[in-house]
Amino acid sequence: GDGFLDIPPQGRVTEEEIRTNPNAAVDLTNGVYNVMWLGGFGPDVHGLQFITLTSIVSDDADKGSTPQDYSPALEIDNFTYGPTNAIVGNLWTGYYQAIARANQALDKLPLSPIDEADKNRLIGEVRFLRGYFYFNLVRTYGGVPKIDRVPTPEEANSDAFQTRATAADIYALIIEDLQFAVDNLPLKGATPVGRITKGAAQMLLGKVYMYQKNWQKTFELSQAVITSGLYDTLSNYADIWRTRGANSIESIFEVQTGTNAACNAAIELYANSQGIRARRGWSDFGFGFNNPTADLVAAYEPGDKRREATIITIQPNGTVLWDGFRVPSRDSVENDRYNYKAYHSRTQEPYCNSPDRTPKNLRVLRYGELLLQYAEAANELGNTGEALAKLNIVRKRAGLPNAVSGGQADLRLKIWRERRVELAMEHDRFWDLVRTGRAGVVMRAHGKNFVDNKNELFPIPQDQRLLSNNRLTQNPGYN
Amino acid sequence: RGSGAFMQAITIKGTVKGSDGAPIPGVTIQVKGTSTGTVTQPDGTYSINVPDANATLQFSYIGYTQQEIALAGRTTVDVVMTSSASELEQVVVVGYGTRRKRDVTGAVGSVRGEEIAKQPVNTATQGVQGKLAGVQIISSGQPGSQPQVRVRGTGSMLAGAEPLYVVDGILTNDIRNINTADIVSMDVLKDASSAAIYGVRGANGVIIITTKRGQAGKMEVSYNMTAGWRQAANLVEMANTQQYTAFLADAGPQVTIPDFGADTDWYGDVLRKGFQQTHNISLSGGSEKFLYYFNVGYLTDQGIVRNNQYDRFTIRSNNEWNIVEDKLKFVTQLSYMHNETDFVQLDDIYTNTYRAAPVIPIKRDGRYGNTSAFQNVGNPILTLDKTNDEIYENRLQGTTYLEYSPWKWLRLRSSIGVNQGFQNRRKYNDKYLNDEVTFLVAGGNQQRPESQLTIVKEQGTEWLWENTATYQQRFDKHDLTVLAGYTAQKYAGDYIEGSRRNVPNSTDLWYLIAGDPNTSTNTSDGDKYARTSILARVNYSYDDKYLLSASFRNDASSRFPSDNRNGYFPAVGLGWVISQEDFMQNQKLFNFLKLRGSWGRIGNDNIASNLYILTANSGLLYFFNGTATLGTNLSDIKDRNLKWETTQEYDFGLEFSMMDSRLTGEVNYYNKETIDALVTVRIPGLLGDPDNEYTTNAGSFVNKGWEFTLGWKDKISDDFNYTIGGNLTLNDNKVTGLNQGQPLFRGGVGQQGNITKTDNGQPIGSFFVLDAEGVFQNQAEIDNYLNKDGGKIQPNAAPGDLRYRDANGDGLINSDDRVYAGSYQPKLYYGINLGANYKSFDFSVDFYGNAGNKIYNGKKAFRYEITDNIEASYADKRWTSARPSTTDPRVLLGSTPASDYFIESGNFFRMNNITLGYSLPKAVLERIKFERLRIYLTSQNLFTIKKFTGFSPELVSGATKRDGFLSLQNSTSPLDAGIELYPYPTTKTFAIGLNVTF
C-alpha cells in the first residue's frame, strides 16, 4: 500500500513542517544573515570573488599573489574579462542565492504567529538585507531580473522572471525595501548586536539616494543617524578593522563572525585570500590577493595615520606587524604590500586554526563613511559649513589639518579624495568612481584599458544568458 | 530376463568428466520421458536404474551442454560434458527461474564461475571483461574498487548507469563482498525483454550471480589458492630535472628554482609491487535430505601505493533441506564478509605525485622536501606518512526460502533476503608544521598544526520479501510455464561521524575522548526508501519450435511522488527454432538455428531518495550579541513531478550451432531508447538554488548496435582439444532530445571549465573544445593568420603557441569556436578467448579491446600551477626555437584553453589473462588419494597496446565513492566520462595458483 512507500526525507525538515513551526520565521530570517558568509570558489557574496569585483578591479588594489595564480581575477584587474569569466558568474549566483533566502523568509514571515511588532522587525531586517543584496547587484550588473517573491514552479521560467528589469526598477525595489526597514527597525541598543538597526537602514538608504543624486534625501537620512547620538568615530582608526573594534561605536552594519568547534563561522576566503603569501622560509597567512597599489600609497597626504593602518608594507629586511609577528624579509614573500584591514592576528585575536574561515567581521557601513556621505550631500545642497565640519572630523582622526573649501567643486573633489583614503580597501572605490563619473579617466590614468560605456558594469554571465534562452540581454560592449 | 509384470530394472553405471578430464560432481541424469533421476558423486560416478535397455539418458548441469545418450543395450556409459561460454544448450538463469538458453527469446549472456575464479581478480565483474558481447567493463587499479559496467551502451545520464546485480535473489549494486570462488555462473540479461522481470531496476541490464550448492554424496574438500604480485602496468614518464628546468625557463622565467641537486622520480617512491594472495577452503556434500556447501576465503591485496592494503575474509554457507521429498524444501544461502582496508586517498596522492617537481628531493636525513613551499603541491610521501586511515567493513548477505510443491506442476516459494552492512572508519591525521623540523626548508601550505581524529560509523540494512508461484506443465507438444509474484523491499541506513583535534599519536589513544573537547564536531544522517512490485511471466513453447515469452511488472518506488510512483513494464519475446522444422532435418550444416525478436520496457529509479520533496537546510550559523544562533533556509529547487526514467528496447537475434556443434554463434541487433532520462540539469542562477542545478526528467537518447559472438571448439585427439571464441559489439550512442532544455555542459578541467557537451545528435558527454590546427612556427605565421577584415585572429600569440581554427568565422578565437571532438563512448569493443588442453596441460588466453572512443588528457591540461611537472614525452616534443615542433606547443599554462590537442585515441588492445595449468595424472592422484591436483601460472593484463599517452585508457568516471553505504556509486556521471583527471595506473598481476580436491 501507499503508506509503505510514503517515506519522508530523513534528517531534513520539510517545507510543510516549516509552515507549522512558530519559530520558522525567525529561523529563516537568521538563515538570510548566514548567506553573507558565502564565499570560496563557487557562488560568492563576500569572499574573494566579491573582493575581486569591488577592490582588485579598482585603482586601489592589484590582483597580487603569484602572477599565474587565479587568472579570472587577473582578467578583472586588467579589464580583459568577458561574459564567461567565472567570478562574474559566481557573484551573480551568490547574490541571487542570497535574494532567494530573503524571499523565502518573506514568504513565511506573514504566516508566523508572533506579534505584529516583532514580525515587522524581522521583515524589516530581511528587506534591509534584500535591499543591500540588490544594491550590490545593480551596481555590478545594472538592471537585473527583479525577483521579489518566491516564484511558483510554473512561473519560474516566465519572461517576468527571466528578463532584466531596468536599473531604475531595481532601485525602486531597493528604496521600498530600505524605507520599510527604516520605518520598522529599532535603534541600535534596542536590538541584539548584529541585527540590522534603524541607523543602518537610514545610512544605506541615504547611500542609495546618493547614487540617485537625491541629495536632500541623503542629507536627511544621514543627519538622522548623526542626531541619534548612537554613533561616533572610533578614536584609533587602526582599531576599526581589528577584533577590538568589532561592533564599536563606529560600526553601523557589520557582518558578524565568530569561533565554533567546527571552526567555520566566518566568511569563507575573506581574510585568508588577502593574507600575506610566503615565497619561502616561513608559514604564511594566506593567498596574497588584493595588494594595495603604489597609487593608493601616493594618495595619502603626508602624516595621514590611515596609510599605515591600511597597508602592510613589506620592508627588505622584514616588517613587524601590530601583534608582534615579524614577516622575515621582502624576498620571503610574494608581494610588496598587503591589506592591513584584512589582516587577522592568529595570536592576539580569536582564531581556531581554520585559515579559510578566519573570524574577521566585514565592516559594511560605518560612521566614518556616514560623515563623508553627509558631507557630500551637504556640499551638493550648498551647505558648505556642515560639509566641512563633518569632513574635518574624519581628517582630524587621521591626524590631518582641517580642510578649507575653495568652492563647491573644490570641496566635492576634497570629499571624494577623503572617501578614497578613509574607505581604502573597503570595497567601495570602484563603485564610487563609477558613481561619480570618473572611472574611465582614473582607470586609464592608472594604466588600465577601461572602455567608457562598457566597463562601468560587468557583463551578464554567459551561461546565465544561455539558461534564459538569451532572454537576459547583455550589457553594452560585451557582445 | 524378466517379462510382463516382472519387468526388472537395469542398472547403468559410468563416470562423467569435463573436457579437461576432471570428474564433474552434481550432474543431473534423467531417464528421458520419466521422473527417474540421480546426480553424479563427487568422483563423477553415477549409477541409475532404467526400465528399458533402450532408454535414453539425459545429462545436464549448469554451464554445460545437455546431452542425450541412447543406451542401445549398454550398461556402462561414460560421458564427457562439454562446456563453453558461447554454448547454446546451457541452462541460464533468467530471473525468478532458469531456462535452457535454446528456449530463451531475449539476449542473455553467461559466464561460468570457473572462468572467473581462475583469474587473479578481486571482484567477479572484472573477470567477465571481454567474455560477453554487449557488456563493456571498465576497471581501475584500485584495490577493493568495483569496476564500471555498461550493458549495451550508456543507458543513463546519471551515475545510476550501472546494471543491477542479483546475488542468489538479493538485489544489490555492490558485489565486492562476493568471493569469486563461490560463483557457479554469472548471467547477464542484456535486453529489455529479459530484464523487464526486474522492472524497476533493470534498465541498465541485470547481472545474476548464482553461488554454489552442495551435491549429494560424500564430503568433498577442496583448497584453492593463488599468490603473486601486482604492479603498475603502465606509467607515464615524467620530466626529469633537466627537462623540467628547461620548460620552466620558457613557461615561468620569473620562477626561481631551488637547487637541491635532486632529480626525483616521485612515482618510484610512491608506488611499489603489491603482494597479493587468496586462499579458499570449501566443503560440500550431503544426502537426499540435506545438501551443504561451505567455503572460507581469505584475500589480501597490498595495492601498488605505499601504505595501501586490503584484506578480505569471507564465509559462505549454502544449505538445502528436503523436508518432504519433492514437496517441501528449505534453502539458506548466506554469506558474511569482513574486510579491513588501510585506505589511501588515491586521488590526492596520484595528483600530487604527478604534479611534484623533480627538483625537490623526497626526503633527506629525516626531513622532507618541501614541494608546497616551491610549488603549492603537498609532498605525497609526507601525506602518506602522516595519515592513518583504516576502514573495517562487515557485510551479511543472504536469502532463505521455503518452497512448497503441492503438485508437481506448481511451485510456491516465499523468500526473505537481507543485505546488511556495517562500516567503521578511523582516520588519523598527524600534526606537523611547515618548519625546518619537518622540511628541508620551512614554508608553504602543507602543514597540520593540530592532529585530527575522525571516526565514522555507517550501517545499512535492506530486506527483500519475495513470493512467487510457478506453474509448469507440458501437454503433448505444449510447454507452459507461468510465474506470478509479489515483492516488497525496504532500505534504511545511517551514519554518524565525529571528530576532535589534538589527539596524541598512539593507536591506543585513537578515540575521540583523547582529543580536545572544545574542537569536537559531530554529525549524522540517514536514508530510507522502499519499493513494491507485482510481477508475472508466461513462457510457452510449442514442439520446442515456437517460443513465446511475455512478462509484466508493476513497480512502485518511494523515490517518486505518489502520483508518478507506479511504473508499468511489459515485455514480449518470440522465438523460432528453425532447426526443429521438418525441412531442416535433411541438412547437415546446422545442428541448431534459432531466430528471435523481443520488445520490452523497463525503468530506472537509481537516484537519491526524496529528490521531489522540498527540504530545509537547518543549522545555519550566525552571531547575535556574540552568541551563535541557528538559522534555516529553503532555497533548494526540487522537481515535484519527478517520474520514472524508462527504457524501451527492440532486440533481434540469430543463434546457431554448426558442424557437429563445433561452431556456435550468435548475432544480435538492438535498438534501445531511453526517455524521460533522469539527469541533473543546470537552472538559472536567479532562482537561487545553492548549486544551481536540480534533478529532473530531461532527456532522451538511443543506443543501438550489433553484437557478434562466435565460438569454435574441436577435439583433435583424446590428448588434445581446443577452443577459439570471440565477440564483437558495435554500439552507437546518440542524444535525441533534451526536453527543450539546454545542452548539458560538464567535465570541469580547471580553468578550462566544462569540456563536454551533451546535445541532440551527439553521443552523451561529447568533448566540445577548440580545434588546435598546429603550432605557430614564427611571428610571420601569427601575423599572416588574419580574418576577413585583415585583423589578426590570434593577436596575443607567440611563436610556439597553438593555432586554433576560427570555426565560426567571426575573426576571433573564443569559446564560440568550440567543436565536437569525439566522446568516451566506444564505437566497438571486442574480446578474444583461446583455450587448449593437451594431456595434463591446460592453457588459456583472453584478449579485450575497444576502439573508436576518445580520451581527454585532463591531467596534462589541468595546470594548477606553473610549477607543476610535465610529462617527459611532452618535454621532449614541445616547440622550442631550436627544435620547432608542429604538434606540441612551447608551454602549457593553466590558461591554455581546452582544445583537441588534449584529446587522444582511446583505442586499446589488451591481453587480459593468460593461464597455463598442469593437472596431476589420474594414476598419480590415486596413489596420493587426491581427486584432483592442479597447479597453474597466470597473469592478468600482461600487456596493453594503446595510443593514449596517459596512464590507462580505462577510466572509471571519478573515484569509487566510499560514502553512501550499500548504494555504492561512482561519483561522477556519464556526462563526465573519459577525462583522465586523476591518473590511476592500472595494474598487471602475476600469480601462481593451486587447486586441490580431496
> What local confidence, expressed as pLDDT, does residue B162 receive?
84
3-class secondary-structure state, position A209: helix
Judged by CB atoms closer than 8 Å, whether chains meet at A145 and B686 is answered as: yes
Residues 6+ apart with CB under 8 A from A76: A52, A53, A56, A57, A63, A85, A87
User: In terms of residues, how long is chain B?
Assistant: 998
Judged by CB atoms closer than 8 Å, whether chains meet at B532 and A5 is answered as: yes
Q: Which of A18, A161, A264 sits opposite B616 (nearest CB)?
A: A18
- The residue in chain A having the minimum alpha-carbon distance to the alpha carbon of residue B615 is A14
Judged by CB atoms closer than 8 Å, whether chains meet at B686 and A256 is answered as: no
Distance CA A339, CA A160 (A): 42
Q: Mean pLDDT highest for which of B154-163, B609-618, B909-918, B961-970?
A: B909-918
Judged by CB atoms closer than 8 Å, whether chains meet at B628 and A260 is answered as: yes
Banded pLDDT at B141 (limits 50, 70, 90): low
- The residue in chain B having the minimum alpha-carbon distance to the alpha carbon of residue A137 is B686
3-class secondary-structure state, position B167: strand
Q: Which of A4, A34, A100 sits opposite B620 (nearest CB)?
A: A34
> What local confidence, expressed as pLDDT, does residue B964 receive?
39
Question: Are A101 and B688 spatial neighbours (Cβ–Cβ below 8 Å)?
Answer: yes
- Show me where the domains of chain B are located: 4-81, 91-213, 766-986
Judged by CB atoms closer than 8 Å, whether chains meet at A193 and B634 is answered as: no
Q: What is the mean pLDDT of residues B279-297?
A: 92
Q: Does A276 touch chain B (CB under 8 A)?
A: no
CB < 8 Å to B488, chain A? 4
Distance CA B740, CA B766 (A): 19
Judged by CB atoms closer than 8 Å, whether chains meet at A93 and B620 is answered as: no
Judged by CB atoms closer than 8 Å, whether chains meet at A9 and B866 is answered as: no
Q: Note the ipTM here.
A: 0.96
> What local confidence, expressed as pLDDT, does residue B199 receive?
77
> What local confidence, expressed as pLDDT, does residue B682 receive?
84
Judged by CB atoms closer than 8 Å, whether chains meet at A101 and B633 is answered as: yes
Asked if the domains at B4-81 and B91-213 fall in one CATH topology, the answer is no
CB < 8 Å to A194, chain B? 622-626
> What local confidence, expressed as pLDDT, does residue A1 receive?
43
Q: Which of B524, B613, B688 sits opposite A96 (nearest CB)?
A: B688
∠ CA A300-A371-A427 to the nearest 5 degrees? 60
Measuring CA to CA, how many Å separate B313 from each of B373, B806, B990? 43, 59, 22
Cell of B617: 537546510
Judged by CB atoms closer than 8 Å, whether chains meet at A18 and B632 is answered as: yes
Residues 6+ apart with CB under 8 A from A421: A299, A300, A301, A304, A306, A307, A310, A398
Between these two residues, B640 and B400, which has the higher pLDDT value? B400
Cell of B4: 510382463
Q: Does A3 touch chain B (CB under 8 A)?
A: no
- The residue in chain A having the minimum alpha-carbon distance to the alpha carbon of residue B370 is A280
Q: Which of B449, B532, B620 sits opposite A30 (nearest CB)?
A: B620
Q: What is the mean pLDDT of residues B781-789?
A: 93
Judged by CB atoms closer than 8 Å, whether chains meet at B623 and A265 is answered as: yes
Task: Say if domain A24-184+449-479 classifies as CATH 1.25.40.390.
Answer: yes
**Nearest C-alpha neighbor of B359 from the set B503, B273, B259, B505:** B259
User: For chain A, first and last CA: distance in Å?
Assistant: 57
Interface test with B, best of A36, A88, A92, A97 (most B CBs within 10 A): A97
- Show me where the domains of chain A are located: 24-184+449-479, 271-360
pLDDT (tens digit, 9 = 90+) per residue, B941-981?
A: 999 999 999 888 888 764 444 333 444 444 457 888 889 88
* Nearest chain B CA: its distance from A214 CA (Å): 30
CB < 8 Å to A130, chain B? none
> What local confidence, expressed as pLDDT, does residue B86 receive?
43
Q: Which of B444, B614, B629 sits opposite A15 (nearest CB)?
A: B614
* Nearest chain B CA: its distance from A103 CA (Å): 9
Between these two residues, B961 and B254, which has the higher pLDDT value? B254
Judged by CB atoms closer than 8 Å, whether chains meet at B742 and A193 is answered as: no
Task: Please determine, for residue B25, whether its predicted confidence score (pLDDT) is greater than 80.
Answer: no
Interface of A with B in 53-72 (CB under 8 A): 66-69, 71-72
> What local confidence, expressed as pLDDT, does residue B8 receive?
59
Task: Please determine, for residue B515, whether its predicted confidence score (pLDDT) is greater than 90.
Answer: yes
pLDDT (tens digit, 9 = 90+) per residue, B861-892?
A: 988 888 999 999 999 999 999 999 999 999 99
Give the residue ranges of chain A where pLDDT is below 70: 1-2, 281
Q: What percent of chain B has pLDDT over 70?
A: 95
pLDDT (tens digit, 9 = 90+) per residue, A36-54?
A: 999 999 999 999 999 999 9
- The residue in chain A having the minimum alpha-carbon distance to the alpha carbon of residue B444 is A283
How would you label B5-17 residue by residue, b for 16+ Cβ within 10 Å and e otherwise?
A: eeeeebebebbbb
Interface of A with B in 367-406 (CB under 8 A): none
- The residue in chain A having the minimum alpha-carbon distance to the alpha carbon of residue B440 is A281
Between these two residues, B695 and B430, which has the higher pLDDT value? B430
Architecture of domain B4-81: Sandwich (2.60)
* Nearest chain B CA: its distance from A470 CA (Å): 11
Judged by CB atoms closer than 8 Å, whether chains meet at A464 and B518 is answered as: no
Distance CA B363, CA B727 (A): 50
Interface test with B, best of A18, A26, A30 (most B CBs within 10 A): A30
Q: Does A229 touch chain B (CB under 8 A)?
A: no
Give the single-character DSSP code of B797: -
CB < 8 Å to B635, chain A? 97, 100-101, 104
CB < 8 Å to A98, chain B? 688
* Nearest chain A CA: its distance from B364 CA (Å): 17
CB < 8 Å to A467, chain B? 682-685, 742
**Nearest C-alpha neighbor of A351 from the set B81, B456, B569, B519:** B519
* Nearest chain B CA: its distance from A384 CA (Å): 39
Burial label, B587 (beta-carbon count in 10 A; 0-12, 13-18, 19+): exposed
Question: Are B844 and B913 spatial neighbours (Cβ–Cβ below 8 Å)?
Answer: yes
- The residue in chain B having the minimum alpha-carbon distance to the alpha carbon of residue A28 is B632
Distance CA B241, CA B257 (A): 10
CB < 8 Å to A285, chain B? none
Mean pLDDT lowest among A458-462, B124-128, B137-141, B322-326: B137-141
CATH number of B91-213, picked from 3.20.20.70, 3.40.50.300, 3.40.50.720, 2.170.130.10: 2.170.130.10
Question: Are B393 and B421 spatial neighbours (Cβ–Cβ below 8 Å)?
Answer: yes
Mean pLDDT lowest among A221-230, B34-43, B404-413: B34-43
Interface of A with B in 14-53 (CB under 8 A): 14-15, 17-18, 24, 27-35, 42-43
* Nearest chain A CA: its distance from B867 CA (Å): 10
Task: Please determine, for residue B691, whether its predicted confidence score (pLDDT) is greater than 80.
Answer: yes
Size of interface A-B (CB pairs under 8 A): 232
CB < 8 Å to B895, chain A? 71
Judged by CB atoms closer than 8 Å, whether chains meet at B616 and A69 is answered as: no
CB < 8 Å to A29, chain B? 631
Interface of A with B in 292-331 (CB under 8 A): none
Q: Does A101 touch chain B (CB under 8 A)?
A: yes
Task: Please determine, for residue B63, whether its predicted confidence score (pLDDT) is greater than 90.
Answer: no
Judged by CB atoms closer than 8 Å, whether chains meet at B895 and A256 is answered as: no
Q: Does A260 touch chain B (CB under 8 A)?
A: yes
Judged by CB atoms closer than 8 Å, whether chains meet at A5 and B441 is answered as: no
Residues 6+ apart with CB under 8 A from B253: none
Q: Does A169 touch chain B (CB under 8 A)?
A: no
Give the single-character DSSP code of B933: E
> What local confidence, expressed as pLDDT, does residue B920 receive?
92
User: What count of other Cβ atoms lies within 10 Å of the Cβ of residue B38?
Assistant: 17
Residues 6+ apart with CB under 8 A from B818: B757, B768, B769, B770, B807, B898
